[in-house]
Structure 1
Amino acid sequence: MPTRPAAPSLFQMVALPVGSAAAPMGKWEAARMVAIGEQAGPWNEFLAQGDRIGTGSPLGAVNRWVNWRVRYVDDKRGDEWSAATATLSRGYGDCEDFALAKMALLQELGIPADDMFLVLLRDRAQGEHAVLAVRQDGRFHVLDNRTDKVLPAERIEDYTPIMSYSGAFAWTYGKPAG
C-alpha cells in the first residue's frame, strides 16, 4: 500500500483524508493513469527541452506552455476528466484537464507525483474550478489556467477547496478549529 502524502492544506482550509471507498475516484483514476512519456505528441518537443526547463523550477514553464496551447472549453456532456495525452493532442479542455496535463508534464520533468495535487474548488463567485497545487520547498504553488503566473497558495484568498487528489488518495476540506 502506498504511503499517503502529507495533507495538502490550502487556501486557509485544513485537508482531511478521505478513505478511498468514500471518495469519488473513478474520473481521477482513469485520467491520471495515462503516462505522457509513453506516447508521441505535441509535448515531445517541450519535454526534449527538459535540461533548459529544469534550470530553476519548471512550474512556470509548464503552466505557460499548457495555458498557451490548450483552449478552454466547457464539458458538453457533464463533468468529464481527460487524460493529459487527450487534452494536449486535441488542444482543448476544461480546468481539470489543464491541471491534469500540467501534472503529467511536471511528473515527466521529475516533480514527484506525491508533491502534486489536483484541487477542486469554488471561486469567489461560487463557480466550480480546478487547479494544480505543487509542494516545493515546504510551500504550495498554484498552477491555474486563469493566469500564467505561478502563485504561492498563501497569496490566494478567493478560492475555497472542496476536494483534492494525489496518487491513490483524496482529501476533503474543513475550516481550521479556533
Structure 2
Amino acid sequence: MPYRQPTAAGVRALLQGLTALALCLALAWGPAPAVTFDPGALASYARQHYGAKAGRAVESWQAMLAQAAGLDEQEKLRMVNGFWNNALIGGEDISIWGQVDYWATPLQSLAKGAGDCEDYVIGKYFSLLHLGVAPEKLRFVYVRARIGSQSIAHMVLGYYPQPQAEPLVLDSLIDRIQPAHNRPDLTPVFSFNAQGVYVPGGRRSSVDGIGRWRDLLSRMRSEGFQP
C-alpha cells in the first residue's frame, strides 16, 4: 500500500492533530464511550448517500460485528482486524478525498473501499468499542515504520490488556496481530486515548488543543451512530 515520506511540517501537523484527537475523545465521549446504531438505518443511510455498493459493505461490516459479539476479546480483535484490512485498499488522503489530511467515518471508508493508516485505525477502534472492549484498553499509536530503506509516519491500533502490559499491534500493513516486541520495524513515538497522551518510558502528559475529531464525531452522528 502506498505511503508518502512525510515532511517535517507534515509530521508536526500530524502530531498536533493526534494530540487534539485525544482531547476530543475525552471531551466528546467521556471516559467510557459506547457506540450504538440501528443496523437497518445505517445500511439504508449508506445506500442513500454513498450508493448500493456502500450499503452492501456496511451490511458485511454489521454481519461481522454480529458474529463477533459472542466471542472472547482475542477473537474480537482478530475478526475486526481482518475485516478492516480486507475491506480497504491503502492509499493517501489526497488521492482518495482530494485533501491532504482527512479523517473519514467508518461508513465513508467502507463506501470508498480505501483509506490511509488512520482510517483503518478509526474503523477498528469504533468496531471494538461497539463490541464492548473497554476504551482504556485501546490506544491510537503513532509510530515510525521501517519499510525497506525508508522510515515513514504511520499509525496502528494498540490493545493493552492491562495498563502497563505490552500491547498487541493491530496494523494495516500486516494482517497478523502480534505483540509489540515482535514488530521491530515499528518505533513508537507516542500513543493516546481519552485518558491522556503516553510517550515511551511510561510518562503520561495531559492532552490539549482541538482538531478534526469533533467534526468526525459530528459526521458519524449524522450517519446514525450514537455515542
Q: TM-score range by the shorter chain?
A: 0.7 to 0.9
Q: 1:127 to 1:25 in 2, by over 3 A?
A: same
Give the TM-score normalised by structure 2.
Answer: 0.58
Provide the residue aligned with 1:66 in structure 2: 84
Q: 1:175 to 1:122 in 2, by over 3 A?
A: farther
CA–CA distance in 2 between the matches of 1:28 and 1:79? 18
Structure-to-structure mapping, 1:61-100, within 5 angstroms = 61-76=79-94, 77-100=99-122
Extract unaligned runs of 5+ from structure 1.
1-20
CA RMSD, Structure 1 to Structure 2 (Å): 3.2
Give the TM-score normalised by structure 1.
Answer: 0.72
Deviates more, 1:135-144 or 1:46-55: 46-55
The structure whose residues are more often strand, as a share, is: 1
Aligned length: 155
Q: Percent identity?
A: 26
Provide the residue aligned with 1:108 in structure 2: 130
User: Which protein has the larger Cα radius of gyration, Structure 1 or Structure 2?
Assistant: 2
Structure-to-structure mapping, 1:143-162, within 5 angstroms = 143-162=170-189
Q: 1:164 to 1:139 in 2, by over 3 A?
A: closer
Q: Quick one: which amino acid aligns to residue 45 of structure 1?
A: A
Structure-to-structure mapping, 1:127-142, within 5 angstroms = 127-136=152-161, 138-142=165-169
Match of 1:170 among 194, 197, 211: 197
Q: Deviation of residue 102 (structure 1)?
A: 0.6
CA–CA distance in 1 between the matches of 2:35 and 2:101? 22
Provide the residue aligned with 2:36 in structure 1: 37
Q: 1:114 to 1:155 in 2, by over 3 A?
A: same
Secondary structure of the 1:49 match is: helix
Q: Deviation of residue 56 (structure 1)?
A: 4.9
Match of 2:151 among 104, 126, 151: 126
